[in-house]
Chain A
Amino acid sequence: MDDSKVNAATARVLLSTKRKSRQYSLFEIATDILFLKNETGGIKNVVKLIGISSGMLNQFLSVLKLPTEIIQLINQRKIESVSMAHHLSKFNRDDSIQLAQMVINESLTSQELRSILTYRRKFQSEPIKDVVKRVLDSKNIKVSVIRFSDSNLKIDLSELSAKISKLIGEENFLTIVKSNKNIDLKITPVGEKKLREIAKSQKISFQEFINKLLK
């Protein structure tokens, strides 16, 4: 066993197992872990050396099973999540390459990828895009509810709806519901984010911005 190489690989892995401020790419870490596994005689010894569970080390090692196209994305630091890489490694080559692009372009989350994997195992002949759509469409819809007092509203509800739709896009406007003395504006989280950005650009608080919309 070459101690200096083992020490260097150990140091690199220790510096890079946390996602935040990771110095090395997932591929480099996986290569180091494989080297340590071979040098120390098995994954159990790497666990002792690094202090990370064998499950997590194996997730890193799964990076080495990915197609070259995805390794390139990993080296470009476009994919940084080890659980994401681990899930991708469980798909066949074509699926994993398409999904890797979706991870980058459409911000698929690790949890979504896991759900897609479970569904894919049952429905292997469908195009992967259809599988992704089927899974994502089945998710619950996240709604941001902005509640304000009825007394603050100085314009017609339909006028307010039109104003909001114009600002955040119709696809992000869901509904306005009146109950007791409150009015609930229901929009998508993306819509909420857009409203907050507009408020910020106008250098006023979100509260002030909403109140402005009600007049």
Chain B
Amino acid sequence: MDITKVIDVPMKDIKLQGSNVRSDLDSPNSKENLLELAQNIKVNGLLQPIVLRGDNGKPPYDVIVGQRRYLAHKELGAETIKATFSGEIDNMNALLLSLSENMCRQEMNYEDTQTAITTLYKNYGNDERKVQAATGFSIRMIRSYVRIEEQATEKIKDLLKKGLSMADAKRAIDAAQGDKDKADALIDEIAKLTTYEKKRLVESSTKNQKASVDELVKEAKKSKWEETIVLNLPMEISNAVRKATEKLSIDAEQLAMDVLVTWLKTNDFLLEANG
């Protein structure tokens, strides 16, 4: 089958059966965008055909890629839509195709992305590298989705669907140290803190695992002193440093770091990275 061949497919032969990764099409924002898209299609026509699952001639067809374009056609009362066919593919490949297309377009909501990533992760035997290769998501991002799926409380998962950031969800999970009630209490408090306070809250929780939510919040609200020790070098050393930085074209901080690392290694205070 030629999957690039564009065919005018009757709209009545298409029935949405869930192959598309998007589920956010009912939100007010999406509806507004959909009407905009419909208007655009009315003026310019459909620039990119949609992708249907299965083979031409065997309706009903499900939409893998282009659900919004399909709905916009419905909105316009179109009788046909330009489409290509994927041929028979399994659920996992349909999910991948849909995910990769949708990630490049309008930003997907948390729930859809979470479902897609964790489904792929389980299907690939918990191998995050395979998910990365298939989706292009960073390992860090994949781990975040998986971790939240595994460790977040129902309350946090619910808040994520309503717009809570993944970063805040992770902070509450980290700071709660496995205590689910504490995580639920923390998530309410975290929302009221600034980014700097949130960072301190997680730091304090690591140092004092038994601290209550109130104690953690109180500690987080206290600004800390970040000290930088200023080294006063004798003139001859200072001149030598200047000479070295000019000759090596590196800055003094980098030179100081190199010297420190060399000294620490030579004196067995620092192991080689591969040692």
Assess whether B274 is interfacial by the CB under 8 Å rule. Answer: no
Q: How far is the CA of A118 from the CA of B193 in the complex (A)?
A: 10
Assess whether A16 is interfacial by the CB under 8 Å rule. Answer: no
B190-218, CB < 8 A from A: 191-197, 200
Question: Of A118, A142, A205, which is within 8 A of B226 by CB?
Answer: A142
Q: How far is the CA of A145 from the CA of B226 in the complex (A)?
A: 10
A134 lies within 8 A of B238 (CB): no
Q: How far is the CA of A145 from the CA of B165 in the complex (A)?
A: 37
B230 lies within 8 A of A147 (CB): yes
Assess whether A181 is interfacial by the CB under 8 Å rule. Answer: no
Q: How far is the CA of A24 from the CA of B229 in the complex (A)?
A: 40
Contacts of A48 in B (CB 8 A): none
Segment with Cβ contacts to B, from A26-34, A93-101, A206-214: A206-214
Contacts of A122 in B (CB 8 A): 191-192
B226 lies within 8 A of A143 (CB): yes
Contacts of B227 in A (CB 8 A): 143-145, 186
Contacts of B194 in A (CB 8 A): 115, 118-119, 134-135, 138
- Determine the interface band of chain A, counting residues with CB < 8 A from chain B: 20 to 34
Q: Which residue of chain B lies nearest to A174 when distances are taken between CB atoms in the complex?
A: B225
B224 lies within 8 A of A206 (CB): no
Assess whether B223 is interfacial by the CB under 8 Å rule. Answer: yes
Q: Mark A174-199, 1 if CB is under 8 A from B, else 0.
A: 00000000000010010010000000
A142 lies within 8 A of B228 (CB): yes
Assess whether A139 is interfacial by the CB under 8 Å rule. Answer: yes
Evaluate whether A140 and B235 lie within 8 angstroms (CB atoms) in the complex, with A115-B196, A135-B194 already known.
no
Q: Which residue of chain B lies nearest to A41 when distances are taken between CB atoms in the complex?
A: B47
Assess whether A148 is interfacial by the CB under 8 Å rule. Answer: yes
Question: Of B165, B196, B228, B233, which is within 8 A of A143 by CB?
Answer: B228
Assess whether A3 is interfacial by the CB under 8 Å rule. Answer: no
Evaluate whether A140 and B225 lie within 8 angstroms (CB atoms) in the complex, with A44-B104, A122-B192, A135-B196 already known.
yes
Contacts of A1 in B (CB 8 A): none
Contacts of B228 in A (CB 8 A): 142-145, 189
Assess whether A155 is interfacial by the CB under 8 Å rule. Answer: no
Q: Which residue of chain A lies nearest to B238 when distances are taken between CB atoms in the complex?
A: A205
Assess whether A11 is interfacial by the CB under 8 Å rule. Answer: no
Q: How far is the CA of A208 from the CA of B104 in the complex (A)?
A: 59
Contacts of B191 in A (CB 8 A): 122
Q: How far is the CA of A104 from the CA of B70 in the complex (A)?
A: 47
Assess whether A52 is interfacial by the CB under 8 Å rule. Answer: no
B223 lies within 8 A of A140 (CB): yes
A114-142, CB < 8 A from B: 114-115, 118-119, 122, 134-135, 137-142
Assess whether A146 is interfacial by the CB under 8 Å rule. Answer: yes
Q: Which residue of chain B lies nearest to A123 when distances are taken between CB atoms in the complex?
A: B192
Q: How far is the CA of A44 from the CA of B232 in the complex (A)?
A: 52
A140 lies within 8 A of B224 (CB): yes
Assess whether B77 is interfacial by the CB under 8 Å rule. Answer: no
Tell me the minimal C-beta distance from A112 to chain B in angstroms: 9
Assess whether B234 is interfacial by the CB under 8 Å rule. Answer: yes
A207 lies within 8 A of B235 (CB): yes
| Residue picked from B195, B225, B228, most chain A C-beta under 10 Å | B195
B225 lies within 8 A of A146 (CB): no
**Supplied contacts A44-B104, A192-B230, 14 more A-B pairs, CB within 8 Å:** A114-B195, A118-B195, A119-B194, A134-B194, A135-B196, A139-B223, A141-B223, A142-B225, A143-B226, A189-B228, A205-B235, A207-B232, A208-B235, A210-B232
Q: List 6 A-B contacts (CB under 8 A).
A: A118-B195, A142-B225, A146-B230, A147-B230, A205-B238, A207-B232
Which 9 A-B pairs give the minimum distances between C-beta atoms?
A: A115-B195, A138-B194, A207-B232, A138-B196, A140-B224, A143-B227, A143-B225, A140-B226, A135-B194
Interface residues of B (CB under 8 A from A): 104, 165, 191-197, 200, 221, 223-235, 238
